[in-house]
Structure 1
Amino acid sequence: MSRLLAAITLPLSIALTIIVTIICSVPIIVAGLIKLLVPIPAVWRSISVFCNFMMYCWCEGLALLLRLNPWLKWDVQGLDGLNKKNWYLLISNHHSWADIVVLCVLFRKHIPMNKYFLKQQLAWVPFIGLACWALDMPFMRRYSRGYLLRHPEHRGKDVETTRRSCEKFRAHPTTIVNFVEGSRFTEEKQQQTRSPYQNLLSPKAAGIAMALSVLGSQFDKLLNVTLCYPENNQKPFYDMLSGRLTRIVVRVSLEPVTEELHGDYVNDKNFKRRFQRWLNRLWEEKDRQLTEIMQQAEK
């Protein structure tokens, strides 16, 4: 793609994305305010259905914008057997803001609307923050080890947020999404955290462990998703907006939610170690998968 065409596409894509987001988020915000003012369970359920529909419309809008890129190709495996009437826990590697767009667009017709564990900072993003609040998406504030040593009273607050948020999802089929690395992957972060993986940061188990603790019996499957942009690995979100994104690779693996994954992650040290080892094994396989995808793209 020429630089001139990319320069034209970028502001146009940004403008269209903002318009789609505003059109879909304003009704969600209004519905959320009604939900706040009318604490009646029947009203809340109706509002939840409406908000999920508006989120679906947002996903459709994003899908349309992606279809405007004639160079973009999807390479997807593993969507068979999914059902919008089931409960899913979806875990994925996190490389870029493009990941959220890809997950929303790809799964919109296959599973219930995604509910993301979001960073606290996103609560202040205009329209997006308020819309996510109305959709009952949990905002989590992660504390550094040094901060918790100075303020031990904050220890476990993100875990308690997870518990409260998951309780809300019992009433209707839901897909809970967790980027278990806790942050977008960069080589700098990989070195700073001494990650043992070539393409990933080390996974954090607390969020999904608490989700399984609260809703474990309701989850039908765990969706282990691997995302990769082999030809746009450096700036996939920028390339998506500028029309330069050429290939999205997604691999989906359905994992059983067994009794071994249910336990007290906070107080049972043995369970905590077992759970972390299980997650580490998934991450080792994901790291190998990403390496293979990148190597195939280089051929």
Structure 2
Amino acid sequence: MRWLRVALIIPLVVVNTLVHALPLLAVGVLKAIVPLAPVRRACNAVLVALAESWIAVNSGMIDAFTPTAFKVEEEGALHRGGHYLVLANHQSWVDILVLQKVFNRRAPFLRFFLKRQLFWVPVLGLAWWALDFPFMGRYTRKQIARNPELGRRDMEATRRACGKFRDIPVSVMNFVEGTRFTPQKQASQASPYRHLLKPKSGGVAFVLDAMGEGLHALLDVTIAYPGGRPSMVDLIAGRVPAIRVHVRQRPIPPELVAGDYQDDRAFRARFQQWMNALWQEKDAQLGRLLDGAA
């Protein structure tokens, strides 16, 4: 029965993607070849409306075809016209669907920082490009140490992306662990957290530096899967009994908005201390969500 559900839902997801992606790509091309501000603004509005419609249909299919129970707790009201930095823990590709379902048409459209290789994903890669998703090199600390130019390259890519976001409502999404959580990764990096990997602060610092006072708040999102970390097939097959999400709005410390994270050691230490404290709280919150106490 579960595999029949998968066989029925996947074609619907493909059709939904094509129905929305093809006009989205057409509008994206128009935006690229007619670089006039009024045209860009009009195209951006159409692109976001198409993307939000695509997400709404996907979310509707999750509600209609799976038994998954969503429990969402929020601290603070969301505003569709705002500018947010969104930080979340990362365990599965399901996280993206969860974030889209929670925030769609309630907060500004989510833009993710993506690995450069994802540009080549059929259809979706071009759709992400049309929607101004930033594509990053995602270099390791060792690679940057050997070639500092790589770090500056990602920083410039972040600045270019955030420059586009200044004039439109946006939720800039960052999975600061840099990769999906597994017990093996947790052990290999000797993570001090029970449920999380170590946070990587550089990308967050670059966004705060690039967008400055333009960000209204930080949305601290904790995602929990009490039944275990799921795959996308698990969700479609109805093997995810519950998903719990906690959203907390936090002020962004003004002293961390602008600073030289790459070359100022004192600033970098303060920034990492803030991130580590935030992650310590998230680890405790995730434990409560998994235990069902929150």
Question: So what's the TM-score if we normalise by structure 1?
Answer: 0.93
Counterpart check, 1:25 vs 2:25:
no
Contact 2:66 2:236 in 1 (8 A): no
CA distance in 2, matches of 1:72, 1:235: 12
SS of the aligned residue for 1:244 comes to: coil
In structure 2, the partner of 1:253 is 248
Pairing 1:132-171 to 2, within 5 Å after superposition: 132-171=128-167
What is the aligned counterpart of 1:35 among 25, 31, 49?
31
The AA in structure 1 aligned to 2:221 is V
CA distance in 1, matches of 2:169, 2:139: 31
Cα displacement string for residues 126-181 of structure 1 (whole angstroms, at most 9, x for unaligned residues): 11110000000101111223433444432322122111100001111111111111
SS of the aligned residue for 2:85 comes to: strand
Pairing 1:52-63 to 2, within 5 Å after superposition: 52-63=48-59
In structure 2, the partner of 1:244 is 239
Counterpart check, 1:213 vs 2:209:
yes
Contact 2:119 2:125 in 1 (8 A): yes
What is the aligned counterpart of 2:46 among 31, 40, 50?
50
Contact 1:216 1:257 in 2 (8 A): no
CA distance in 1, matches of 2:154, 2:169: 23
The AA in structure 2 aligned to 1:290 is L
Cα displacement string for residues 205-256 of structure 1 (whole angstroms, at most 9, x for unaligned residues): 111111111213111110000001111x232422111122221100011101
1:110–1:125 CA distance, 2 compared to 1 (3 A): same
Deviation, structure 1 residue 292: 2.1
User: Bigger CA drift: 122-131 or 267-276?
Assistant: 267-276
Name structure 1 gaps, 5 residues minimum.
none
Contact 2:76 2:249 in 1 (8 A): no
Deviation, structure 1 residue 113: 0.6
1:36–1:70 CA distance, 2 compared to 1 (3 A): closer
What is the aligned counterpart of 2:11 among 15, 29, 41?
15
Contact 2:212 2:258 in 1 (8 A): no
CA distance in 1, matches of 2:35, 2:237: 44
Pairing 1:87-106 to 2, within 5 Å after superposition: 87-106=83-102
1:146–1:258 CA distance, 2 compared to 1 (3 A): closer
What is the aligned counterpart of 1:188 among 174, 177, 184?
184
The AA in structure 1 aligned to 2:235 is M
Identity %: 38
User: Bigger CA drift: 186-195 or 106-115?
Assistant: 186-195
What is the aligned counterpart of 1:86 among 75, 79, 82?
82
CA distance in 2, matches of 1:103, 1:247: 15
Deviation, structure 1 residue 58: 1.0
SS of the aligned residue for 2:216 comes to: strand
Pairing 1:69-84 to 2, within 5 Å after superposition: 69=65, 71-78=67-74, 80-84=76-80
The AA in structure 1 aligned to 2:275 is L
Deviation, structure 1 residue 30: 1.1
What is the aligned counterpart of 1:119 among 111, 115, 121?
115
Deviation, structure 1 residue 184: 0.8
User: Bigger CA drift: 88-97 or 37-46?
Assistant: 37-46
What is the aligned counterpart of 2:61 among 60, 65, 68?
65
User: Bigger CA drift: 171-180 or 210-219?
Assistant: 210-219
